Chain A
Amino acid sequence: MRFRAVPLLLLTLSLGAAASFAATVKLLNVSYDPTRELYQDFNAAFAKAWKAKTGQDVEIQQSHGGSGKQARSVVDGLEADVVTLALSYDIDAIANAGVLPKNWQTRLPNNSAPYTSTIVFLVRKGNPKKIKDWDDLVKPGVQVITPNPKTSGGARWNYLAAWGYALRKYGNDPAKAKDFVQRLFKNVPILDTGARGSTVTFVERGIGDVLLAWENEALLAVREIGKGQFQIVAPSLSILAEPTVTVVDKFANKHKTAALAKAYLDYLYTPEGQEIAARHYYRPRNQAVAAKYAQQFPQVQLFTIDQMFGGWPKAQKEHFADGAVFDQITGAGR
């Protein structure tokens, strides 16, 4: 080769290739409203574990909002690597858009629900309206705070918990259950789009007598946000809420983060991940961790959505689809 500087080119290329400066891999977790604090802690722990295991730095970005709204954002193109949403139906909606397989729920243990929660009542200190159970929420003059089931996964759990109680009380009479839930929603002065918004309405804005809340959100309010100002009332019956998680295959593959995303979700099932969930007042699946934190969770008789409603698709269609029961009882869409 006649050009004498070509060896310099090759040498420099080699030196450049040898230069190694660790860069950060990014992962986007699109989650629902009240999981901010949980995933802040979890992300830090996972990043540390991943770094120790692989030497790779990982930066996990979080996005939070009403579960249904978040699912729509992913369907509309928000390139989440993983979703950790309030209910499986919202992830089904993403699967229907073709960005992840329809059997996604079989890919992780416990139907891809690494932790559970339930719906409880948060009332003001001293429980001035003497609220003890669902019946008290339909009394005139009681203001109930809950988000909008159209946009919030937590709100759908709230609604179905109330409906399930009414069905049990009235001998599985759907008409009476409908009347019961209708009376309950007549006592709702504001419908926030997400659970965290409802917490703000109740805790910070001082509106309402009772907040229907995720158990973890209620415990957070009692023990940390509004210490000494609130107390939890456990109803006689509530629903077993199973927030679900999965990798969004299309976007994770596009970002080449599929393995990292899977490891991220797998870490939720490890004792470390379960411990973090329990510390943030989510009920862990791991028996040992659950036993360790049993004291912090009130004893509530729980039913599942499959038992009472035949699963999420059926419940969604009958209650939350446009023109379905929720629209009928609130007069929406008229």
Chain B
Amino acid sequence: MNPFRGWWLGALLLGLTVVSPLRAWQEAPPVDETQEPAQPTLEEKVEELDQKVRILQRQDELEKEAAAEKAKTATGVTSGRDGFSFKSNDGAYVLKLRGYVQLDGRFYSGDDERPATDTFILRRVRPIFEGTVFKIFDFRIMPDFGGGTTVLQDAYIDARFSPKIKIRAGKFKPPVGLERLQSGTDILFVERGFPTSLLPNRDLGVQLFGDLAGGNVSWAAGVFNGVVDGGSGDLDGNDGKDYAARLFFQPFLADNGSWKGLGFGVAAITGDQQGTLTSTGLAAYRTPGQQTFFSYRSDGTAAGTVIADGERFRLTPQAHLYRGPFGLLTEYAISRQEVRRGTVAAELENTALQVTASWVFGGEPTYRAVSPKKPFDREAGTWGAFEVAARYNRLELDDDTFPLFANPASAAEAAEAWSLGLNWYLNRNVRIYLDYERTTFEGGAATGDREDESVLFSRFQISF
């Protein structure tokens, strides 16, 4: 029963001295002095000592367990797959350091008529500083050093009065595009689809938002400076403001069942915008390979430059479904803008659609991210998760755009793209993309259609 008995024989004297006074209520009972007390044998003494040592060891073990348990819930500095966090003891103040880096490769083929440069590019380099002060006030600051430039992407403050009502103020994504509202680390393909090109990117403003019915309904409404299609802004060029609203339903989200990944909704943003010759208030549109395929006429003169001149309205019905390994995201966008060239005015309506579908092996997709069930580990023989994806997307310009507002010899009337993608999620933090995009055009050349664009994209991404 006691493998250490021989050893303890040697330690007997020392041990008895050390451990005997440890618990007062373990002391021996009063001794009847009229009787000669029975003397314990050496074996009994060893046994007693052995028990006391075991008790001490067990107490030490329990103290360590308690300390480990306390450490689990203790506040302070933490680090993990979601970044690094510093937290006050009461949780009222938090600072999180996060970020992501994306190294892209773009390789064009068949670009004889419109040569494009094969290149590696740091598409996004974004450190993120997030935090909480006074329990309910959150902030986020996210610069971007991608492409060798510095842009402040996000800088805002949230006030969380309740899950149903929150306020956000600063520079952030207006509540409009479904794919735009996804983080740049979570989008399915290297570049977003055409509907995102018609909807605002980031803007300055104030919005109210919240979740109702346990998160089954999300709502948001806000007022913003107003930015061009697909654009971001830091300063307004006119007094007009854009008003945005979004309602999104995920009826089975709280159910935590098999349909929890179903979501659908609609968003709109509208306002009066007035362009100038130097800041037209109108956007150019780019291919997935980031080549401009459409722009309005502009020669620096009032007669030859198209500017925004009145109401701008953008509407986007949107939906996603994530069920088991299957993922689907679809979005339709309408961008209607009153424009003017010289004395001629018109209302132009551009539209875009995308449908993406994906299938994950070794993980489960969500709108937010794919989390591999077994992260890549060579020694364990696990490979993370793989995802195959396909996308159809198309953008059409208003027929009335040509030829007065855009040059049909250089601006395409429509672009249609098919994409195939393979994503390898090594773990929650590291992801490798490989996409092939083929885009065809209607018009956009002096004769016939603009040359097709074929691009092979690669991306190495780390996010935390």
Q: Give chain A's interface residues, CB within 8 Å of chain B.
A: 2-3, 5-6, 8-9, 12-13, 16-17, 19-23, 25-26, 56, 140, 143, 185-187, 189-190, 192-193, 197, 201, 205-208, 254-257
In the complex, the answer to whether B323 meets A19 with C-beta atoms within 8 Å is yes
* A12 to chain B: closest residue by CB: B355
Report if A256-B324 is in contact (Cβ < 8 Å); known contacts: A8-B392, A189-B26: no
Bound-complex Cα distance A186 to B26 (A): 6
B321 at interface, CB cutoff 8 A: yes
Please give the residue numbers on chain B whose beta carbons come within 8 Å of chain A beta carbons, in ascending order.
1-2, 23, 25-26, 28-29, 51, 54-55, 57-59, 61-62, 66, 214, 252, 254-258, 260, 262, 319, 321, 323-326, 328, 330, 332, 351, 353, 355, 357, 392, 394, 396
* Cβ–Cβ < 8 Å partners of A186 in chain B: 25-26
Offer 15 A-B interface pairs, CB within 8 angstroms, sorted by A.
A3-B353, A5-B392, A5-B394, A6-B332, A8-B392, A12-B328, A13-B319, A16-B321, A140-B28, A190-B58, A190-B62, A201-B58, A205-B57, A208-B51, A256-B252
- A189 contacts B55, CB within 8 Å? yes
**B-chain residues with CB within 8 Å of residue A8 when the two chains form the complex:** 353, 355, 392
Choose from B28, B66, B254, B357 the contact partner of A255 (Cβ within 8 Å).
B254
Decide: A2 near B257, CB < 8 A? Known: A12-B357, A186-B25.
no
Nearest Cβ on chain B to A210's Cβ, whole angstroms: 13
Are B258 and A23 closer than 8 Å at their CB atoms? yes
> Contacts A16-B321, A19-B323, A23-B257 known; A190 to B355 CB distance under 8 Å?
no
Say yes or no: B55 contacts A190, CB within 8 Å: yes
A189 in complex: contacting residue of B23, B61, B330, B353, CB < 8 Å: B23
Given A2-B351, A9-B332, verify A207-B55 contact (CB < 8 Å): yes
Chain A residues in 8 Å Cβ range of B353? 3, 5-6, 8-9
Minimum-distance CB pairs A-B, first 10: A21-B324, A23-B258, A186-B25, A16-B328, A256-B255, A140-B29, A16-B321, A12-B355, A189-B55, A3-B351
The secondary structure that dominates the A interface is loop
Between A23, A186, A197, the greatest number of chain B beta carbons within 10 A of the residue's beta carbon is seen for A23
Residues of A with C-beta under 8 A to B1? 206
CB distance from B271 to the nearest CB of A (A): 24
Residues of B within 8 A of A185 (CB): 25
- Cross-interface CB contact of A3 among B25, B61, B396, cutoff 8 Å: B396
Q: Which chain B positions have C-beta within 8 A of A6?
A: 332, 353
**Which of the residues B57, B255, B323 comes within 8 Å of A21, measured between beta carbons?**
B323
When distances are taken between beta carbons in the complex, the residues of chain A under 8 Å from B25 are 185-186
**Per DSSP, are chain B's interface residues mostly helix, strand or loop, or mixed?**
mixed
In the assembly, what is the distance between CA of A255 and CA of B324, in Å? 19
**A207 vs B396: C-alpha distance in the bound complex, in angstroms?**
80
Partner of A254, one of B214, B321, B326: B214
Contact A9 B330 (CB under 8 A): yes
CA of A3 to CA of B335, assembled, Å: 13
- Complex CA gap A206/B23 in Å reads 19
A16, A22, A187, A254: the one contacting B357 at CB < 8 Å is: A16
Task: Give CA–CA (A201, B355) in the complex, Å.
Answer: 61
Inter-chain CA distance A270–B414, complex, in Å, is: 66
Beta-carbon nearest neighbor of B255 in chain A: A256
Asked, given contacts A16-B321, A197-B62, A206-B1, whether A22 binds B258 with beta carbons under 8 Å apart, the answer is yes
Distance from A134 Cβ to chain B, minimum over Cβ atoms (Å): 18
Which one, A12, A20, A192, contacts B323 given CB within 8 A? A20
In the bound complex, CA of A257 to CA of B256 (Å) = 8
Q: Which residue on A lies nearest to B329, using beta carbons? A: A16
> Is the CB–CB distance between B62 and A13 below 8 Å?
no
Cβ-defined partner of B321 (8 Å) among A3, A17, A26, A255: A17
Given A20-B323, A23-B323, A256-B256, 19 more contacts at CB 8 Å? A2-B351, A3-B332, A5-B353, A9-B353, A9-B355, A12-B328, A13-B330, A16-B328, A19-B323, A22-B324, A23-B258, A140-B28, A205-B58, A206-B1, A207-B51, A207-B54, A256-B254, A256-B255, A256-B257
| Cα separation A254 to B324 with both chains bound (whole Å) | 22
Q: Are A207 and B321 in contact (CB under 8 A)?
A: no
**Across the interface, which residues of B come within 8 angstroms of A208, CB to CB?**
51
- Chain B residues, Cβ within 8 Å of A254: 214, 254
Partner of B330, one of A12, A19, A23: A12
State the Cβ distance, A264 to closest chain B Cβ, in Å.
15
Closest to A24 in B: B258
Given the complex, which residues of B lie within 8 Å of A9, measured CB to CB? Answer: 330, 332, 353, 355
Closest CB in chain B relative to A246 CB, distance in Å:
20
Given A186-B26, A256-B256, answer yes or no on A21-B58 (Cβ-Cβ < 8 Å): no
Give the complex CA separation of A255 and B262 in angstroms. 16
Residues of chain B with a CB closer than 8 A to A207's CB: 51, 54-55, 58
Q: In the bound complex, what is the Cα–Cα distance between A12 and B257 (angstroms)? A: 22
List of A residues within 8 angstroms of B330 by Cβ = 9, 12-13, 16
Name the residue of chain A whose CB is nearest to the CB of B394: A5
Residue of B nearest to A57 (CB): B258
Q: Which residue on chain A has the smallest CB distance to residue B398?
A: A2
Q: How far is the CB of B399 from chain A (nearest CB, A)?
A: 9
Chain B proximity of A194: nearest CB distance (Å): 11
Closest-CB distance, B326 to chain A (whole angstroms): 5
On whether the beta carbons of B332 and A190 are closer than 8 Å, the reply is no
Nearest-neighbour CB distance to chain B for A50, whole angstroms, equals 13
Instruction: Chain B residues near A26: list those with CB within 8 A.
Output: 256
In the complex, A17→B51 CA distance in Å? 66
Closest chain A residue, CB of each to CB of B324: A21
Complex CA distance for A192 and B55, rounded to whole angstroms: 12
In the complex, A256→B255 CA distance in Å?
Answer: 5
How far does the Cβ of A289 sit from chain B's closest Cβ, in whole Å? 33
The complex places the Cα of A5 from the Cα of B392 at a distance, in Å, of: 10
Asked, given contacts A12-B330, A12-B357, A256-B254, whether A23 binds B28 with beta carbons under 8 Å apart, the answer is no
Task: Give the complex CA separation of A56 and B255 in angstroms.
Answer: 13
Across-interface contacts of B357 in A (CB, < 8 A): 12, 16
CB-CB < 8 A to A255: which residues of B?
254-256
User: Are the CB atoms of B258 and A21 closer together than 8 Å?
Assistant: yes
Name the B residues within 8 Å of A25 (CB-CB): 256-258
CB nearest to A204 among chain B residues? B58
Within the complex, the shortest CB–CB distance from B268 to chain A, in Å, comes to: 17
Residue of B whose beta carbon sits closest to that of A229: B1
Q: Is the CB of A23 within 8 A of B355?
A: no
Which B residues touch A192, using CB under 8 A? 62
Complex Cα–Cα for A17 and B263 (A): 11
Distance between Cα atoms of A207 and B392 in the complex (Å): 70
Q: Are A21 and B328 in contact (CB under 8 A)?
A: no
